[in-house]
Structure 1
Amino acid sequence: MSTTARSGPYEANWPSLRGHRVPEWFADAKFGIWSHWGPQSVAMAGDWYARHLYGPYEGTEGFEQKRSRRQAAHHRAHFGHPARFGHKDLCRLWRAERFDPEALMDRFRRAGARYFVSLAAHCDNFDLWDSTHQPWNAVNVGPRSDIVGRWAAAARGAGLRFGLSMHAGSWTWRWLDAAFAADAEGPRAGEPYDGHLTAEDGRGTWWDGLDPRALYGPPRRPGDPPRADFVDNYYARLREVTERYAPELVYLDDARLPFDEGSVCPAVPPSPRGLEFLAAYYNAVPEGAVSVKTVPDEDRGAVLLDVERHQLGETDPAPWQYDTSIGDWFYSAGERYKTAGEIVHLLVDTVSKNGCLLLNVPQLPDGTVDEETGAVLDGIGGWTDVCGEAVFGTRPWHVHGEGPTRVDGAKARERSLPYTPRDVRFTRRGETLYAFLMAWPADGTALLTSLGTDAGHLPRPPRRIALLGGGPLPFDLRADGLRVTLPPEPPTPYVQVLRIE
């Protein structure tokens, strides 16, 4: 498959691109697995490591300070000073020696995933395929293997849709300026970090023949606008990886199209390369979707809204994606993980509001997942085996749910909500309605107020109600709600589902 640019209906402008629509496969999928895995996994110290290993400097924002100090201390203790051992050297240590994408994909499929997203390049600017525009890539350095290609083959072999995420770009320009700083105090104050090294400095070293400037970008100060050649290189890599692997989902980690107006790091003037990419991609992959973080209503077909670690308060009229992780984005030793029950609650709430959940699964540096992650995946899979028909291929109902426990406002930072037996979420498929009981009623009765005759949502009374994983249940339709008599014990450890016909 190839996404090589060709003629088609889409032109490189918003009015033309607004003719695109989010594909039906995505609206049906509901649940995807994502792999944040690369050189930063080596430290096993969490996300943003390639930036924060250098420590705080003048470009470090307030919210970064604590993490930056922690990861810088970790780096110096385990790897040495970043004047010589920086991000480039982590790339060499990432070997992926136990990476088995087919076995992992089978596990993701059994968990219920309908699509899989591979990291193509994180903000650390290291490409995970045989990139012709970035010599710092997984075939030249580290694993000596085309990670993206292997993920793509495994996903499609397992019957999953394949996507990739591209974070190098605006964030890289902001992130890796840290490599051009120096200690502000201490015995090595003023000694430049390894971002200042050049290809000439590599003679006789393990990175002989590689230029650190290709990894870190050109020397710059915090706030400098991105250079045109840096922007062009990013889009050349994005075009290459999408043309080679024809992903059906492309996740762009930016508020808007990278380096365009509204981007986290706009070029001066704003770059048109993003619009050119969108037109070429949709002309080649009409059933594709490209996500960004801020989408005006008029652009909801042109790009897919992605909401990172936040939940929406109400049903959105267009399909959207909520992305989160079991733990930190990159593997972090000792990190507290979400439980399978918490993730099922997040999945149900998201799907009831017309969204899909993209769940990151942190991997160890060698490519495996730890036992705790495996247990979480198995727990989710056990639930989707029983209740998946209420999730996959469904659509929102008249109301997304009822009960006292709600997301605060239109959008709020994700958290584990204290659901009660009065909290219910809904989905539908044709004339079948599904009611998710977010907590099991101790009195053995589920009361669905949205289904009472006074609510006016049901065109006619239900003819049959069954508990998924159980059997038919007695019910009583009244003005104030639909009362359903439940069995003594729930059939699953988490959310229970009523099928209402």
Structure 2
Amino acid sequence: EDGKGKWWEGLNPADLYGLPPGQRTPEYIESVKQNWVLRHTELVTKYDVDMLWFDGYGFPYKEYGKQVCQNFFNHKLQQNGTIDAVIAGKFSNEPSTVKDIERGGASEVLPYPWQGITTLRTWFYKEDTDRMEYKQNARTIIELLADYMSKNGNLLLNVELLADGTIPAEQKVMLDDIGAWVNLNSEAIYASKPWLIYGDNLNSYLKLADDGTDETDLAALQEQKKSAHFNERTAASPAYGHDEVRYVTNNKALYVIVLNPAKGDIVLPSLGLNSTQKPGKITSIKMIGGKDSIKFRQGQEQLILSVPGKRPNKYATVFKLEGVL
């Protein structure tokens, strides 16, 4: 009768935590691994998930984890005729997996797809969470997404949930802003690919001195380049310069994402006709969400693009360039 009518009816609550370490015999450990395989196989077959995400640097329980992933792929193949599924984790070099970077991103365009993972504040809601400051907001998440896309990456965003399953009100406002930006600029996001380089006027936030001189913090720059996990920019980071951009491509168009736009001309050296990227002659530039064509001058050494004062929103602005590719 113990547990009748409870959520754990028919189960053993002791299985939630297992035996004390001193009582874990080889036979017991083997049973835990087998149980893990059964539960996760049920997860991927019964609930038709699209992605498995492992918070670790390898497959859980090594070969047992690989067995679950094999079951996952086989189920998708049998169900859909294709393996439309993703296995992600902090893997270093595992075939058929997506490399995760926790609260950070790549410093260059990577030849393989990868994923940056972050959260707005903390990984889960708890009693004292309301006293914590937000590490991210709508602006910085949009900037991270643009940066990661330009380097062949994806962004996985964690959201805290209250006990009743609802999203905290202030986080819902952020998500609504992010969603509106993504919907507006969807043609530059979904199925987009990186260009030959990821951006122009790089590391502008390390160069902003009041007198206009170059004040680049070389030590900070080198640390950012060599690190991956936990190198992300946050709401406390210095703002990007008004001319720093990220590049992505889609459907034979090049998209220029101005991270911190302001009215005025910006100079993009990589889009000059003589640049090493060998861009084509631009035929038109349009601002996503705007109606009018954008003024520009493409010369041998640079592209001068005129950013209008009136833009669709207060976040990063996206321009569609025809003729470059």
The alignment's TM-score, normalised by the length of structure 2, stands at: 0.80
Q: Kindly tell me: are residues 315 and 410 of structure 1, through their superposed partners in 2, closer, same or farther at Cα, counting changes over 3 Å? A: farther
Q: Compared with structure 1, are the counterparts of its residues 251 and 140 closer, same or farther at alpha carbon in structure 2 (3 Å cutoff)?
A: farther
Whether 1:375 and 2:173 are equivalent positions in the alignment is yes
Q: What is aligned with 1:273? A: 64
**1:290 paired residue number:** 87
Q: Number of matched residues?
A: 284
Q: Which residue of 2 aligns with 1:355?
A: 153
Deviation of residue 288 (structure 1)? 1.2
Partner Cα separation in structure 1 for residue 6 and residue 99 of structure 2:
34
Residue 246 of structure 2 contacts residue 259 of structure 2 at CA under 8 Å; is this kept in 1?
Answer: yes
1:412 shift after superposition:
4.6
1:330 maps to a residue whose letter is F
Distance 1:245 1:235 in 2: 15
- The alignment partner of 1:426 has SS state of strand
Deviation (angstroms), 1:294: 1.7
1:6-405 mapped onto 2 (5 Å cutoff): 140-141=6-7, 211-220=12-21, 227-260=29-62, 272-285=63-76, 286-296=83-93, 299-300=94-95, 302-331=96-125, 332-337=129-134, 338-405=136-203
1:409 equivalent in structure 2: 226
Q: CA deviation at 1:399?
A: 0.5
How far apart, in 2, do the equivalents of 1:275 and 1:372 lie?
39
Determine the C-alpha separation between the residues in 2 that align with 1:273 and 1:371. Answer: 40
Contact persistence 2:120–2:158 (CA under 8 A): yes
- Displacement of 1:275: 2.3
Give SS of 2:196's match: coil
1:245-293 Cα shifts (integer Å, max 9, x gaps): 1212111222110022xxxxxxxxxxx2222222222122122121121
CA 1:316 to 1:224, structure 2 compared with 1: closer, same or farther past 3 Å?
Answer: farther
Any stretches of 5+ residues in structure 2 without a counterpart? 77-82, 204-220
Ranges of 4+ aligned residues in structure 1 off by more than 3 Å: 207-212, 223-226
Whole-angstrom distance in 2 between the partners of 1:359 and 1:436: 20
Q: Which amino acid in 2 is paired with 1:326? A: L
- From the superposition, tell whether residues 480 and 240 of structure 1 become closer, same or farther in structure 2 (CA, over 3 Å): same
Percent identity of paired positions between Structure 1 and Structure 2: 29
Counterpart-to-counterpart distance in 2, 1:303 and 1:312 = 17
Cα distance, 1:323 vs. partner? 1.3
User: 2:144 is paired with a residue of what secondary structure?
Assistant: helix
- Residue deviations 1:345-389 (CA, integer Å, cap 9, x gap): 011111111111111111110111121011101111221232222
- Once the two structures are TM-superposed, the CA of residue 209 in structure 1 deviates from its matched residue by 7.3
Residue aligning to 1:164: none
Equivalent residues of 2:102, 2:229 under 8 A apart: no
On the 8 A contact 1:294/1:305 being kept in 2, the answer is yes
Query: How far apart are the structure 2 equivalents of 1:462 and 1:140?
Result: 66
Aligned to 1:67: none
Question: For residue 180 of structure 1, what is the aligned residue in structure 2?
Answer: none
Q: C-alpha separation between the residues in 1 aligned to 2:160 and 2:54?
A: 19
1:159 matched residue in structure 2: none
2:271 to 451, 455, 460: 451
Whole-angstrom distance in 2 between the partners of 1:393 and 1:475: 27
Classify 1:252/1:445 alpha carbon distance in 2 versus 1 (closer, same or farther; 3 Å): same
Counterpart of 2:178, as a letter, is I
Give the gaps of 5 or more residues in structure 1: 1-135, 142-206, 261-271
Report deviation, 1:208. Answer: 9.1
Residue by residue over 1:122-142, the C-alpha shift from the partner in whole angstroms, topping out at 9 and shown as x without a partner, is: xxxxxxxxxxxxxx9xx953x
Structure 1 length-normalised TM: 0.53
Whether 1:496 aligns to 2:317 is: yes
Deviations along 1:92-134, whole A, 9 cap, x unmatched? xxxxxxxxxxxxxxxxxxxxxxxxxxxxxxxxxxxxxxxxxxx
Question: What root-mean-square deviation, in Å, do the aligned CA atoms of Structure 1 and Structure 2 show?
Answer: 2.5
Contact 1:469–1:492 (CA under 8 A) maintained in structure 2 = no
The answer to whether the 8 A contact 1:295-1:304 is kept is: no
Alignment CA distance shift 1:436-1:248 (3 Å): same
Matched position secondary structure for 1:310 = coil
Higher strand share: 2
